[in-house]
Amino acid sequence: MLDKDMFDTPCYVIDESVLKHNLEILKGVQERTGAKILLAQKAFSCYHLYPMIGQYLCGTACSGLFEAKLGYEEMGKENHVFSAAYRKNEIDEIIGYCGHIIFNSFSQLDKYRDKVLSAGKKIGLRINPEHSTQEGHEIYDPCSPRSRLGITLANFRKNDLRGVSGLHFHTLCEQNSDDLEATLEAVEEKFGDILGDMEWINLGGGHHITREDYDIPRLEKCIKHLQEKYGLEVFLEPGEAIALNAGYLVTEVLDITKNDMPIAILDTSAACHMPDVLEMPYRPPLFDSGLPDEKKFTYRLGSQTCLAGDSIGEYSFDSPLSIGDRLVFGDMAIYSMVKNNTFNGMPLPSIYLLKEDGSAQLLRSFGYDDFKCRL
């Protein structure tokens, strides 16, 4: 367990051992199946770790120009990009950085097809299999009604695929391989007749491969099915699975107040440092704590900001909290640093690497200029 007093707060701490453990699992999938796994940078872009991640994975997946450039510069392996639409003034640079360019519509394909082909790069189309496997999280469901993500069968021109060598879909979010299997059935039902004409398929992200209950053999069966039946090269681009549980957020209790229950004010913020807590919403794990009233002393954990709802949740402890105590939230490597903001002028947390030998290395710290320079 990390020594929470060795850091300045607030800070993220990336746990190298957990990251490597996850990467070993993913490497095993690659080795057993021949599938290629890419880091979806949208979840984790801490590029200081890219050289190490690149020793295990085949490359990076990008959402646009800046991630494309980062993946190219810092990992320099396969680089695939998908965006709902590309700007005219970015596309040439993107093509320079990426080997696979994935379009979200036939109008984008028409606009940029010849440019991509003449650069010798590969073209993919994102399809929407219209098969939801998640409930209650419409914001994370690309198959929800009226979704803008992926081309539906009714809008897909199967006779207009000149230069298109691959298909991409991304429909899952923190899901197991039974949902992938069900999604693949929908993909085959709608697009099976053109799969044999493709060279590759990208199964997107949302595969929680490194979670303990994830059914890896079932995933491998899905991959092998695509390889054997259609001769496809298979890519996956998980984000969460790569850095799942591989980071912490260390924060300090600044004050203890009371309304109708005890409240602890922390030097971190859900809105600024863990926005998924409010957006998703979810309750982040907190070490040495329990559910409300599970342990003797329950507190509402809140932030310094003005936002009334900037609360992380209610947690209980064996002993009362004191000003100056350190608290450690878990699973804070993914969708955290990449989503930070400085609302209220909140400082950005420093980023540390907790190395395998137990020592800590400060990767980045931030100050007033990081707030000011964006305004």
Q: Give the residues lining the site for ligand PLP (CB under 6 A).
A: 40, 42-43, 61, 82, 170, 173, 204-206, 237-241
Smallest gap from Cβ 306 to ligand PLP, in A, equals 30
**The CA-based dihedral angle spanning residues 285, 283, 259, 289, taken in that order and rounded to the nearest 10 degrees:** -20
Tokens of 219: 């995933």
Exposed/middle/buried for residue 6 (C-beta within 10 Å: 0-12, 13-18, 19+): middle
> Under a CB-based contact definition with an 8 Å cutoff, are residues 182 and 131 in contact?
yes
Nearer to ligand PLP, 240 or 252 (CB): 240
Nearer to ligand PLP, 241 or 348 (CB): 241
Residue whose C-alpha is closest to residue 164's, from 111, 101, 223, 84: 101
Question: For residue 86, what is the DSSP state?
Answer: -
- For the beta carbon of residue 347, count every other beta carbon within 10 angstroms: 21
> Under a CB-based contact definition with an 8 Å cutoff, are residues 10 and 249 in contact?
yes
Nearer to ligand PLP, 238 or 284 (CB): 238
Query: 3-class DSSP state for residue 128?
Result: coil
Smallest gap from Cβ 26 to ligand PLP, in A, equals 11
Nearer to ligand PLP, 45 or 289 (CB): 45
Nearer to ligand PLP, 33 or 104 (CB): 104
Residues 6+ apart with CB under 8 A from 368: none
Smallest gap from Cβ 345 to ligand PLP, in A, equals 29
Smallest gap from Cβ 130 to ligand PLP, in A, equals 16
Query: 3-class DSSP state for residue 248?
Result: strand
Nearer to ligand PLP, 175 or 289 (CB): 175
Q: What are the b/e assignments for 146-178, b being 16+ CB within 10 Å?
A: eeebbbeeeebeeeebeebbbbbbbbbbbbbbe
Nearer to ligand PLP, 62 or 266 (CB): 62
Residues 6+ apart with CB under 8 A from 260: none
CA distance 222 to 322: 52
Nearer to ligand PLP, 4 or 170 (CB): 170
Residues 6+ apart with CB under 8 A from 254: 265, 266, 267, 304, 323
**Which single residue brings its beta carbon nearest to ligand PLP?**
205
Smallest gap from Cβ 369 to ligand PLP, in A, equals 30
Tokens of 172: 């899952």
Smallest gap from Cβ 38 to ligand PLP, in A, equals 9
Smallest gap from Cβ 135 to ligand PLP, in A, equals 16
CA distance 274 to 92: 34
Smallest gap from Cβ 236 to ligand PLP, in A, equals 9
Nearer to ligand PLP, 10 or 59 (CB): 59
